[in-house]
Amino acid sequence: MNNSKSYDINGWPSVFANVYLCTLPALVIIFLPMLVGGMVEHLGMTDQQAGFVATSDMLGYTIGTLSSFFFIHKVNWRKLSLACIALMVAANALSGNISDYDTLLAVRFVSGLGGGVLTAVTFAVIGQMRDPDSAYGWWLVFQAGFGLVGFQYFWDISVNGGFLVLTGLLLLGGLLFSFIPEQALSQNRNISKVDPAVFKKAASGVVAIFLVYIGLMAIYTYLERIGNQAGLSPEDIGISFSAMSVAGLLGGGLAAKMGSRCGRSIPVIIGTAGCILSFYLFTIDQVAFATYAAACCLFFGLWSFLLPYLMGACAAVDASGRTLAMANAAIGAGLAFGPFIAANLVGENGYGILATVSTGFMIAGFLLVLPLLRHSQQTTTLNSPVSGS
């Protein structure tokens, strides 16, 4: 039984706790370029090795997220979350004291595994709240806040120190596990059947999200290395990344403000084209600080602007939520495959090849998602109380 008679899932302590805990696994993703750069600069790894360590972390995260679908409603959420936090604390504490490539590869996988399950639990809790959109908005704010602070001060500590800082944040998170309910709140949801023709469009959209995330992550993983190769100082790169966090917050906020009033196709075209433009700004020979900073802002701002429309299209065509769940899984898979593909390409090829490869994935994803965008807009218009709103 869920001992939740005195538990207010909509109270601010619960919202804060679950948003904070949901943010912790995302910090590795947010700071991935800095961690990759730190492994190269401080641990003596090659670009490929650092990329594979990132892939291992993201692969663990993806497997943790996907596997949780099979047991999340059968276990005590509170105990499961505490176990995940303990696993991540141990893995990050170890990461902060080792420099061996093979060992770090394994330990980061374990950390990602715990992070994926913890994210699944906290996302499920937020989904049970009265106003989940607001809670997801705060999740974005938390990430941007950590990004602003972390990108400014990351260079003052080594990559091992970064893992130890994350260990401390996880220990603080362990104090909040009591604000996670023991199990899902009872809800009566009607699971509607999905028309086979619509399912094909939805499946195409899920694959599109997977491809788009591969393209985005291939560049993002080596963003710090690109700036370093261009001769930019650590301070310049840190400032650029801080500005990038603000741009991401603005991009997501703009999408939330606009909604689907202008349709989804035009925002997706703008987001895709803008991201592709940023890819080539990064690969200009000896890119200047101003250009690099602008490219960072364009890249992450439009990434944050693009994603809500892709996810919104998945949600609009399938009231059961199954397509949205598959889309979340596709994001996790893209987080893993993007760094893996990039790590296999850099080296003798340099970073310039990443722009071409990422562009290919972005265009392929865009073409695949077009039928879903058109169908979702028709569905939204039909379901709107005022036609064309």
Residues 220-254: tens digit of each pLDDT: 999 999 999 889 998 899 899 989 988 988 887 78
> Model pTM greater than 0.95?
no
Clarify whether residues 219 and 162 are in a common domain. no
Q: DSSP letters of 147-191?
A: HHHHHHHGGGS-HHHHHHHHHHHHHHHHTTGGGS-SSPPP-----
What is the pLDDT, as a whole number, of residue 389?
A: 23
| Tally of CB atoms within 10 A around 41 | 17
Clarify whether residues 166 and 89 are in a common domain. yes
Instruction: Tell whether 313 is covered by a domain.
Output: yes
What is the pLDDT, as a whole number, of residue 49?
A: 94
Q: What is the mean pLDDT of the chain?
A: 84
Clarify whether residues 224 and 158 are in a common domain. no
Clarify whether residues 242 and 344 are in a common domain. yes
On the question of pLDDT at 338 being above 80, the answer is yes
Using H for helix, E for strand and C for coil, what is the string for 37-99?
A: HHHHHCCCCCHHHHHHHHHHHHHHHHHHHHHHHHCCCCCCHHHHHHHHHHHHHHHHHHHCCCC
Clarify whether residues 174 and 297 are in a common domain. no
The last residue of a domain, from among 179, 206, 222: 179
pLDDT, tens digit (0-9, with 9 covering 90-100), for 34-68: 889 889 988 999 999 999 999 999 999 989 888 88
The last residue of a domain, from among 179, 211, 237: 179
Instruction: Tell whether 1 is covered by a domain.
Output: no
Query: In this structure, which long-range contacts are made by residues 93-102, counting pairs with CB atoms below 8 Å and at least 24 apart in sequence?
Result: 93/163, 93/164, 93/167, 95/160, 95/163, 96/160, 96/161, 96/162, 96/163, 96/164, 96/167, 97/160, 98/160, 99/43, 99/44, 99/160, 101/43, 101/45, 101/49, 101/53
pLDDT, tens digit (0-9, with 9 covering 90-100), for 265-311: 888 999 999 999 999 999 887 789 999 999 999 999 999 888 888 87
Clarify whether residues 238 and 362 are in a common domain. yes
Mean pLDDT of all residues in 5-31: 86
Clarify whether residues 174 and 222 are in a common domain. no
Clarify whether residues 167 and 203 are in a common domain. no
The CATH number linked to 129 is 1.20.1250.20
Instruction: Tell whether 188 is covered by a domain.
Output: no
Domain range enclosing 203: 196-381
Instruction: Provide the percentage of residues in the chain whose pLDDT is more than 70.
Output: 86
Is residue 258 very low, low, confident or very high in pLDDT (cuts 50, 70, 90)?
A: confident
Mean pLDDT of all residues in 133-147: 75
The last residue of a domain, from among 144, 179, 214: 179
pLDDT, tens digit (0-9, with 9 covering 90-100), for 307-332: 888 877 776 776 555 666 677 778 88
Enter the DSSP assignment of 100: -
Mean pLDDT of all residues in 181-209: 69
88-62-298 Cα angle (round to 5): 100
Instruction: Tell whether 110 is covered by a domain.
Output: yes
Is residue 193 very low, low, confident or very high in pLDDT (cuts 50, 70, 90)?
A: low
Enter the DSSP assignment of 351: S
Clarify whether residues 158 and 236 are in a common domain. no
Instruction: Tell whether 3 is covered by a domain.
Output: no
What is the pLDDT, as a whole number, of residue 134?
A: 66
What is the pLDDT, as a whole number, of residue 315?
A: 67
On the question of pLDDT at 136 being above 80, the answer is no
On the question of pLDDT at 336 being above 80, the answer is yes
Clarify whether residues 304 and 168 are in a common domain. no
Interhelix angle 132-153/101-127, nearest 10 degrees: 150
Domain tally for the chain? 2
Q: Measured in whole angstroms, how far is the alpha carbon of residue 206 from the centre of its chain?
A: 15
Instruction: Tell whether 387 is covered by a domain.
Output: no
Instruction: Tell whether 191 is covered by a domain.
Output: no
Clarify whether residues 149 and 250 are in a common domain. no
Clarify whether residues 243 and 366 are in a common domain. yes
Q: Measured in whole angstroms, how far is the alpha carbon of residue 230 from the centre of its chain?
A: 27
Instruction: Tell whether 207 is covered by a domain.
Output: yes
Stretch among 157-166, 236-245, 351-360, 379-388 having the lowest mean pLDDT: 379-388
